[in-house]
A and B are shown apart, each in its own frame.
Chain A
Amino acid sequence: MEKHKLFVIAGAALLGAALSACGGGGAAVAPKVSYIIDENNPVYKVIKEAQNMDAKDLYKKAMEEINGKEFTGIGNSSRGKTAKEYFINYLKGLDKDGNPSDEIKKAFPYADPNFNCTINWTQPKENSIFTMIDTDVKSSNHVISMTLIQDANQIAAKEINTGNFYNYIPKEWKGEESNKEPFALQSLNKIFEFNNLGNKTFKNCWDFVRTGETPMFMTPQSEPVGRNWLIMLSQKKYSDILMNAAKALEGTEKERIEKEANDLAGKASEFKLDAESGKYGLAFAKLWLNQYAARTDDGPICNELVTQAAAGSSACIVYSKLRSIAESDTSSKKNVTVAAYQDGYKGIGGYMYKHYLQVLKTSPYPWTSCAFIHFMTCTHDGFAAWGKDIGGYCSNTTTGVNQDHSNDGGTDFPVLNDKGYDWWVGTGEGKGNLVVEDGAYCASVELTVGTWLDTLK
């Protein structure tokens, strides 16, 4: 009965959000996600206590809870596997390479070299993470404790509004308000890049969808964060950027884009997108879906993009993929330009999505869940699995967990010199203008813009 009530409330909340978006004004002011809390839930009680605890006390609690036992986490990022090894090392007083560390022992005096536990880290494929979580929550025997999960749209609709997830924010964490609920581990870039061999130029984001262009991209249905990006383009903040970039175009392409946008004015009105620019957001999404060349993953796209044979090709991929390219006679990182790094570039530079850390309401090991989340977001070693790469930025901005990548490529490979989080999310001329994923907004226009995008070819 209780489950039924929650479900109806969640459904009504979502529908309300969707309807308010449709009813005018909802799209401009994004609704917020709201956690459904059961004050008597033992996991919630632990989280409440943990949020006010110092790291060392929290880790001590976790060790008492998990020693000799098996903990299971589930995540979209395979690097959770590396992080959990560093975490176990930390609890033993060892650094991430497995060497005894006085620094760690000083920070965490309860570290015990004899501590023993197993952490399973599962990374489901093909978006099955939600199914696995729901099955576990409904089961009478719960296994999964916490998750590192992406796709804010579905997290909001399927897990937060249903009460499956609880939010834990470490006491020592400091960062942007927008990264608190749901609590984000990091933000990741997917950016416009192009192969600079040949004569093509990409000085405006609309150049990626000009006639004849086929930018390589993962199918949005394969990776829903890409779908969320296209939905986000209908939000005023980003459709304004697109509109201004479209106005900066010249010649036949300008006419083509204007015509495409005007043709979609009716749709924008039907979807109650208040802003005048809404039609530009829809136009970009439509052209992108019409023209992109579908690929299965960002790694293979990057491997293609850096070759001489791909002269003039373009893509929207995870920034860090460039880092693993080895220089050869036919492949080079020098062959690639990050569109937004060019002087005078107009429009969006790509998009940004996040990895969220959440505790399941049925977590068998809530102390360990909180401690592991704390470790990943508040320590250098904890974030090291992700922090070593360009294009990934820890949500914790003050404790020095982020690594500086502003000169990773030096003068040889300037494409690797990451301009950093603030630059990428900044708006205006000479900034990254990334479209930042907002789960609540996506959920609010899911029935209108989302459904329309799904049925486009």
Chain B
Amino acid sequence: MKKSPAKSSHAVGSFSKALTLITTWLNRPENTILLVLGIILSFAVLYPLWSVVQNSLTIHPGKEAMIANSLGFGLDGLQGANWYYLMSGPYGQKYLWEPLGNSLLLATLSCVFALIFGGVAAFLVTRTNMPCKKWISTVFIFPYIMPQWTLALVWKNLFWSAKVTGGADGLLAFISNGAIAMPEWWCRGLFPCAMVLGMHYAAFAYILIGGIFKNMDASLEEAATILNTPKWKIIFRITIPMIIPAILSTILLVFSSAVGSYPVVHYIGGKNFSVLATSYIELRAITGDGYAAIIGIIMLVIGFLILIVNQLTMHSRKQFITVSGKSAQATKINLGKVFKWVCAVVLIIATLLTSLLPILSFTLETFVENPGDYSSFTTKWWVYHENGEVGMYGNYGVFYNASLWTSFRNQAIVAISCALIAGSIGFLAGYAVSRKRKSKFASYVNGMSFFPYLIPAVAFSVAYYAFGLQMGLGGFAGAMVLMILCGSVKYIPFSSRSSLSAMMQLSPEIEEAAVIQGAPWWKRMGRIVIPIQKSAIISGYLLPFITGMRELNLFMFLVSNNDQLATTSLAYYDEMGLTPFSSAVNLIIILFVLAANLLVNLLTGASIDSGIGGGKKNA
């Protein structure tokens, strides 16, 4: 049957119209970015997500099969036995409901501590005439650079005592000859875990809130001051509403991280304080991957709910634009001659305790004969290079330990690659989403870009391990590629949050003015957007880099050799009781990240904290 010429011409016309529409739509860079990222992220995120769901419905051999059989469930295909037993069986109370309550409490308290600690520090550094800002700003992010369990170890070494926690005395009990023994609630359980996580994640609050304080348009506050508005009213009615996006972003990041945090609770939670993350690990050991996946899904749902709240607020964020074309430098609040020094001293002491004390502690540990025993010192952990020393288990001292340095080099390669990929994707995602904030597809891409953050690292790693096997990514090179791929996807949320938070503050008018002038997209980005929000964008690269440098759980499945990464070497040394080596690895990681931060600062004028108080610009 032949088509009539009229119909054919109509079809061609429709096709041409559709093509024009698509071309026009794609001509807007933010649309193209959203489309490409939407496709890539859907695969990169939904694949591990489905893998977690599938795992929860699969009856794995071993105890899961025994339970399913005893309940009369089938063993093949997808089954609900794991869900049924965990929700209603004897494991429910201990491994699900109680940990769920504890996790929510822990995450809430960690958010409160992080916001108070980080928010107050950010305010004092950016909005007041407090002295010693550069020092405080630089040192404040140290706890985030360190693996979170290192702070937990410091807490344990400081406050535990033979009297309360059993074993040997911590520093406080030791120097007071047992007279000072901190109570149980201070040593183990919810409070110390929340404090440590709060201190660790305070950097999020500091960077995000501080970034807004730094860039804030002071005209509103100045107008209120001219109208004789009381200071407290200015803070609650103008200042805080303007930093709400940053507060929400901080809550989102800290809450989700705290819910999924394992090491801190592992070290100082004590055996009677369990959270979802510890249940996840314990259930994997005693039942199997199916039960652990259920816990993973619950953690994911909690994070997802927080994300929805965040998304809802994003749709009404127009009023939070703080960077306009007519921004003025905010006036610094005068704290008074005495109070400004009081604030500085308090913050310096706090940063000394949370940042420098762990570093000094690591350094000291590399010079003691036995970990935790400060009565005898040695340099063997650094310089020994023979084979006779029993206590070193055949390892050379750090300076001569080739495998340790190789593993460090590998970790740096992985972290830098992840930072470059995740940083770029996150930056583009933040930009495109902010420009299309009312679009549902933008919301989808935004959600997808954050989802990796909510998936437990171990579950994420397992999914990518299976993916790597399917793709034939074996051996050293394959493992490196896989780790870079996995890390990049997992760290996109850091950069996308940082970028989105910054882009949301940027009025579209600025870019629109350039569009009217006919400036192409790349020029608008290079000349306007990036320079204005340089510090937030650099943060988007540095956060994945820092996280990648101290990552263990995510790469645990993917390394092909134990000594392939610095963190896996660190775990090996810890397991062998070679704490001086693990302390040395920690020390090297921290110094490397600090040096990298300094280098970025020298080259670009920006650093992770430069948008706030540190960095070359503020020197």
Q: A-side interface residues toward B, CB under 8 Å? A: 4, 7-8, 10-12, 14-15, 18, 70, 72, 78, 81-82, 97, 118, 120-128, 130-132, 134-136, 138-143, 154, 157-159, 161-162, 214, 216, 219, 221-222, 224, 227, 292-307, 309-311, 313, 321, 323-331, 446-447, 450-451, 454-455, 457
Contact = CB atoms under 8 A, between A and B. Distances in A.
Given A222-B285, A323-B390, A126 B475 contact: no
Give the residue among B270, B285, B378, B390 with the most A Cβ atoms within 10 A.
B285
A15 to B, nearest CB: 4
Contacts of A124: 556-557
A313 to B, nearest CB: 5
29 contacts: A4-B76, A11-B75, A14-B62, A125-B556, A126-B284, A126-B553, A128-B557, A135-B465, A157-B62, A159-B61, A214-B166, A222-B266, A224-B285, A297-B574, A297-B577, A299-B371, A303-B371, A303-B373, A303-B579, A305-B168, A309-B168, A313-B167, A328-B373, A328-B376, A329-B375, A329-B376, A331-B375, A447-B70, A454-B91
Contacts, number: 237
Contact of A125 (B166, B469, B552): B552
Nearest to A6: B61
Interface in B508-563: 552-553, 556-557, 559-563
B230 interface: no
B25 interface: no
A262 B167 CA distance: 31
Contacts of B474: 70, 72, 141, 143
A309 B563 contact: no
Contacts of A301: 167
Contacts of A306: 370
A307 B284 CA distance: 35
Interface string B372-391: 11111010000000010011
Contacts of A122: 559-562
B165 A293 contact: yes
Interface in B308-355: none
B61 A300 contact: no
Contact of A307 (B168, B378, B552): B168
Interface in B431-470: 458, 462, 465-466, 469-470
Given A7-B61, A326-B376, A454-B91, A128 B76 contact: no
A323 B87 CA distance: 46
Give the residue among A162, A214, A309, A321 with the most B Cβ atoms within 10 A.
A309
9 smallest beta-carbon distances between A and B, as pairs = A299-B577, A328-B376, A139-B469, A329-B375, A221-B282, A293-B166, A214-B166, A157-B62, A326-B369
A300 B577 contact: yes
Nearest to A221: B282
Contacts of B88: none
Contacts of B574: 297, 299
A293 B167 contact: yes
B5 interface: no
Nearest to A5: B76
A299 B293 CA distance: 31
Contacts of A295: 167
B609 interface: no
B469 A135 contact: yes
B517 to A, nearest CB: 54
B462 A303 contact: no
A310 B94 CA distance: 32
Contacts of B60: 134, 158
A324 B577 contact: yes
Contacts of A131: 284, 289, 462, 557
Given A128-B462, A139-B470, 8 more contacts: A126-B458, A158-B60, A158-B61, A221-B281, A221-B285, A294-B270, A330-B376, A455-B91
Interface string B554-582: 00110111110000000110111111000
Interface of B: 59-63, 65-70, 75-76, 90-91, 93-94, 162, 165-169, 173-174, 266-267, 270-272, 281-282, 284-286, 288-289, 369-376, 378, 387, 390-391, 393-394, 458, 462, 465-466, 469-472, 474-476, 552-553, 556-557, 559-563, 571-572, 574-579
Contact of A143 (B373, B393, B469): B469
A226 to B, nearest CB: 10
Contact of A78 (B75, B462, B559, B572): B572
B67 A447 contact: yes
A328 B375 contact: yes
A8 B75 contact: yes
B369 A216 contact: no
Give the residue among B61, B162, B267, B578 with the most A Cβ atoms within 10 A.
B61
A331 B370 contact: yes
A310 B65 contact: no
B391 A331 contact: no
B384 to A, nearest CB: 12
B490 to A, nearest CB: 17
Contact of A11 (B66, B469, B475): B66
B578 A299 contact: yes
Contacts of B563: 81
A119 B69 CA distance: 40
A311 B166 CA distance: 10
Contacts of A310: 162, 167-168
Contacts of A154: 62
A329 B556 CA distance: 39
Contact of A224 (B286, B370, B387, B552): B286
A446 B387 CA distance: 45
Contacts of A451: 90-91
A156 to B, nearest CB: 9
Contacts of B578: 299
B394 A82 contact: yes
Contact of B373 (A14, A97, A132, A307): A307
B376 A313 contact: no
Contact of A299 (B284, B375, B476, B579): B579
B166 A313 contact: yes
B369 A328 contact: yes
Nearest to A453: B286
Given A121-B562, A128-B458, A302-B577, A15 B572 contact: no
B63 A446 contact: yes
Nearest to B392: A324
Given A219-B271, A328-B373, A157 B552 contact: no
A118 B561 CA distance: 11
B577 A10 contact: no
Contacts of B375: 328-331
Nearest to B469: A139
Contacts of B577: 297-300, 302-303, 321, 324
Contacts of A138: 466
A12 B69 CA distance: 8
Give the residue among A18, A143, A219, A222 with the most B Cβ atoms within 10 A.
A143
B561 A121 contact: yes
Contacts of B168: 304-305, 307, 309-310, 313
Contacts of B59: 11
A397 to B, nearest CB: 25
Given A326-B369, A328-B376, A123 B63 contact: no
Give the residue among B59, B371, B469 with the most A Cβ atoms within 10 A.
B469
A457 B99 CA distance: 13
A36 to B, nearest CB: 11
B370 A326 contact: yes
B358 to A, nearest CB: 17
Contacts of A300: 371-372, 577, 579
Contacts of B61: 7, 10-11, 134, 157-159, 161-162
Nearest to B68: A11
B271 A292 contact: yes
A295 B579 CA distance: 15
Given A125-B571, A141-B469, A11 B69 contact: yes
A311 B168 CA distance: 8
